[in-house]
Amino acid sequence: MTGDIQREDHVARQQAVRLRRSAMGLGAYACTLTLVLACYLAGQLPGWVLTAYTLTILFINAVFFLLIRGGWNLRLRRPDMTLEQTLASVVPGLLVIYFVQDALARAGFLLLALVPMAFGILGLNTRRSLLTGLSIYASYVALLGLLAVFEPQRVNPVGDGILLVAFLAAILQISLLGGYINGLRQKLRGKNEALNEALTTIEDLVNHDELTGTYNRRYLLDVIERETQRCSRGAATFTVGIFDVDHFKRVNDTHGHLMGDRVLAAVAAAIDGSVRRIDCFGRYGGEEFLLIMPQTDLHGAGIKADRLRRAVAGLRFEGEGDAGPVAVTISGGIAEYQPGEAFTRTLSRADDALYRAKDEGRNRVVAAGADRNPGAVDDSPRPASANPAGP
């Protein structure tokens, strides 16, 4: 569950970055649009070209925005769509270059055609960057071919030839440099991801019990302290439950410590798999477990705690050799937080209730402040004397 949440957060962050890149691209389009408008006002472009350019860039940006916003890009092999956005940006530029009248103005637009390649640094390796650059170059060569056929008077063989050579040189250098920079970014990203994974692993080790995989005492005390502070600000109450495996020493002495570890792990799994997502459960120490139940009063906690007690009572373990099967039960004590008290006092009252459950015969749940929780059910015979085998 935690891994799924982390992956979803990672994808959400990536999508947010892609949306920001699209916004940056729209800013670049706006700069080019300013130049197109200037050419129109100078009589270098017909009005319909200005309109067509504006509508085209709006359409292109809207399409990519909706693809990212709706998550459709995640179905693609490369969801960043850097190559697609770069090539799409060339189309409106070629339209303007074809119709602009002055050769020097055409060279200015050709210079702006290198801008999408700069954005390609954010997501294109050397091969894909070269592919993008050569595609742009080939498109411009084709455009010059069309001009040479239909409007040869607008083509200067010497000037346009020099411009083609310079344009190709710029494309090659930008592609190689962009691919190198992108490679460095990928290495840095990989190291950052490895570092984040290491930090997550360390955090898990710090906050989780090695044997049971549940939260450890340190983390549980942090949570109950936060719950105490939250309630002090007027939030709903919470209840804590302390559970202890009955006759655990007998299990260790009769079946060995490996069986004891199996019992603790199974009890923890049975309880942890039955609590709510807002609850916090873990190993409190030894064979004791602590359950923190936010937004839960004593009555609701008593019903829940007894349900957990019955779930554990149904566990069975196969002993080795002639030892026979092993059945375990738990006893529990629950206490509802009282406004103004320290969380250590809440834990102390739950611990006192736990020992009362032990004294009353085990395999039961007792609530602090009452002789017995009305929801508790006694499934075990009452011993002749209290605590015959210790806790």
Q: What is the pTM of this model?
A: 0.53
Give the residue from 300, 306, 368 showing the smallest Cα distance to 338. 368
- Using CA atoms, how far apart are residues 98 and 86, in angstroms rounded to an integer? 19
Mention every residue, 6+ apart, whose C-beta is less than 8 A from residue 342: 228
Q: 24 or 172: whose pLDDT is higher?
A: 172
Active site residue 318: no
CB atoms within 10 A of CB 117: 22
Q: Give the right CATH number for 217-367 from 2.60.40.10, 3.40.1710.10, 3.40.50.10190, 3.30.70.270.
A: 3.30.70.270
Q: Which residue has the higher pLDDT, 249 or 375?
A: 249
**Separation CA 117–CA 178 (nearest Å):** 8
* Res 377: pLDDT: 41
Q: Are 341 and 224 a contacting pair, CB within 8 Å?
A: no
pLDDT at 282: 95
Half-sphere exposure of 222 (CA within 13 A, CB side): 9
Q: Residue 45 pLDDT > 60, yes or no? A: yes
Point out the catalytic residue in the list 193, 210, 287, 336. 287
Q: Helix, strand or coil for residue 128?
A: helix
What does residue 45 show for φ and ψ, rounded to 5 degrees? Answer: -135, 140
Cβ(133)–Cβ(172) under 8 Å?
A: yes
Nearest partner of 91 among 57, 62, 68, 133, judged by Cα: 57
User: How far is 375 from 302, CA to CA, in rounded Å?
Assistant: 6
Q: What is the mean pLDDT of residues 331-336?
A: 96
What pLDDT does residue 322 have? 58
Other Cβ atoms closer than 10 A to 386: 12
- Does the pLDDT value for residue 359 go beyond 70? yes
251-310: per-residue pLDDT in tens?
888 888 899 999 999 999 999 999 999 999 999 999 999 999 999 999 999 999 999 999
The boundaries of every CATH 3.30.70.270 domain in the chain are: 217-367
Identify the band that residue 372 occupies on the pLDDT scale cut at 50, 70 and 90: very low
pLDDT digits (tens, 9 = 90+) for 217-239: 999 999 999 999 999 888 789 99
Q: What per-residue confidence (pLDDT) applies to 268?
A: 95
